[in-house]
Chain A
């Protein structure tokens, strides 16, 4: 399946992916309108070290520990391999946060967890974080 791959050699730590993700989640047309004055809650997060930067989001594992551990069945793997969250079902126990080896699942403002779903619910084609990356540090491809 196509996944978001990270090439930290080219990551500038600009954090645009985080904003593009937050923007994609709103479903609005204009980023200023969508994010002005708001705290963002992206599903992709950049880790910054001394001259090291890289973005981390859900790896959509073939053996997803989060899905296997979810006590409600709110997390599932769809027919394309995308791991999706049914927020209605989630009861905020955070067993998935306990399970994810990459720290790619976070609580949302409302309590239910949120995670990268490759923009399947908001945009089509290329995930917005990848489309907005200025340096090809994240790419969306089959490997």
Chain B
């Protein structure tokens, strides 16, 4: 292929007055964009390799670098966009399925951004969270429908297994293998410090991280990688992964080249063998089959741990959720179509699934209508970007949110969406030792703690403004929400009124 059909999408702009030739950009770019030219006596860049991850920009000590979008353009066409054209060129040269990383980037509506929050004025006065106690603690699991008493009138405890969280956020499933050891350590330590949970994904649990078991959710997915009795026993909860928002209906494939050393041991598969997670669980074809797995896992762990069933948000999500609620699961996790991934076929990521806001509203309503809402807790993920998104999700009926991409951003991810290349310059989505060490968990965990501490403060501020002092009072409280710029149908699904109503 002698013709370069693809023009580099970014340009490296170097301010020669500020560049001191320290070559940190060169040393830090795993894509080998920068190099020092003896002949020219200055730094040069090969922009075709740049993924715009900002590692060089962030480390340049004199701020001599910036990366800009190229203004090179195809002949404008509303139908045949530059992206569509380039994808054709790419496939014409490789013959392969297009792969992408992180969440769906396409300009579909973001409903969280079309929802506004209420606040108290005059009546039902607001609460100052700096002066008054505010409760953001949540419990996930089945709730008793009615209180039972003995003949003396004392309350009979009927607690089912549950998770206790200091705030309604936890880290979503990211496997060891898809992300690095140091990223995992950062998440685990942050979860422990914050009093929340992180999730192993389908990569098994590295022996070093058993110490964080009380803050660990372990995943059982279609490949069953890394699952054994100690793994289940160590965890605080077990998640059955039926689907993932970034690639509903699709399995996973970690190439054998990445199955080395600890990753191979932790997944319990031979070095160099591909880790293929099938699209379906081959033993689950019905809610009854799912129920068998739920109870197998409960049986295996002495009915002491809540079981989560995670699904992608798809068209008939509320019916599926209803089935899951009846399967014996304690928690349903729903992952919206903007959820992240280390690698997914681009067409799947960008075209399959539905927004989490709509899925959540419809599931919550369906379970309420059927009188089984208290049988399960609902956890939602798929691009929760801020405390405001968390807040709106709770008011739409969620018990808790999963964050993945936001956590990675806190660790340094710049959303360059090149995870599938395995050369993450920030030491997150890579197994290359020289890159992995770039993420020092001492720094990483602290940044996660900082971020969620800030979010929790903000959640309390918003609650206080509404005159609410407990997150439980916000849950499903759609009166606190108003839509803006939405159709009647959208408002109906979300179960909220339009602003001004």
Contact = CB atoms under 8 A, between A and B. Distances in A.
Interface in A14-33: 14-16, 19-20, 23, 30-32
Contact of B437 (A10, A32, A38, A132): A10
Contacts of B272: none
Given A35-B20, A135-B440, A12 B433 contact: no
Contact of A31 (B23, B61, B438, B440): B61
Contacts of A31: 20, 61-62
Contacts of A134: 59
A36 B17 contact: yes
A143 B443 CA distance: 20
B22 interface: yes
Interface string B17-47: 1111011100110000000000000000000
A41 to B, nearest CB: 14
A10 B17 CA distance: 31
B18 A32 contact: yes
A30 B59 CA distance: 16
A51 interface: yes
A16 B24 contact: yes
B34 to A, nearest CB: 13
A14 B443 contact: no
B101 to A, nearest CB: 23
B437 A16 contact: no
Q: Chain B binding site: helix, strand, loop or mixed by DSSP?
A: loop
B250 to A, nearest CB: 35
A136 interface: yes
A32 B28 contact: no
A61 B26 CA distance: 35
Contacts of A15: 22-24, 27
Contact of A136 (B17, B20, B59, B442): B442
Contacts of A36: 17-20
A12 B437 contact: yes
A68 interface: no
Contact of A135 (B17, B434, B438): B438
Most buried by A among B20, B27, B434, B438: B20
B64 interface: yes
A116 to B, nearest CB: 19
Interface string A114-143: 000000000000000000101111000000
B27 A132 contact: no
Contact of A132 (B19, B61, B442): B61
A9 interface: yes
A14 B18 CA distance: 18
A64 interface: no
Nearest to B16: A36
A15 B22 CA distance: 8
Contacts of B440: 10, 135-137
A16 B20 contact: no
Interface string B429-468: 0000110011010110000000000000000000000000
Most buried by A among B17, B19, B24: B24
Contacts of B20: 19, 31-32, 35-38
A12 B438 contact: yes
Contact of B443 (A12, A32, A136): A136
A38 B22 CA distance: 10
B59 A14 contact: yes
Contacts of A19: 20, 22, 24, 61
B37 to A, nearest CB: 16
A23 B59 CA distance: 15
A135 B446 CA distance: 13
Contacts of B62: 30-32, 35
B61 A20 contact: yes
Contact of B59 (A16, A32, A37): A16
B208 to A, nearest CB: 14
Nearest to B22: A19
Interface string B112-145: 0000000000000000000000000000000000
Interface string B52-94: 0000000101101000000000000000000000000000000
A137 B61 CA distance: 17
B61 to A, nearest CB: 6
Most buried by A among B22, B433, B438: B22
A125 B20 CA distance: 26
Contacts of A23: 61
A4 to B, nearest CB: 17
A5 B438 CA distance: 18
9 contacts: A9-B437, A12-B437, A15-B22, A15-B27, A16-B22, A19-B61, A30-B62, A32-B19, A37-B20
Given A12-B438, A15-B24, A16-B22, 11 more contacts: A16-B59, A16-B61, A19-B22, A31-B20, A31-B61, A31-B62, A32-B62, A35-B22, A35-B62, A135-B443, A136-B443
Interface of A: 9-10, 12-16, 19-20, 23, 30-32, 35-38, 51, 132, 134-137
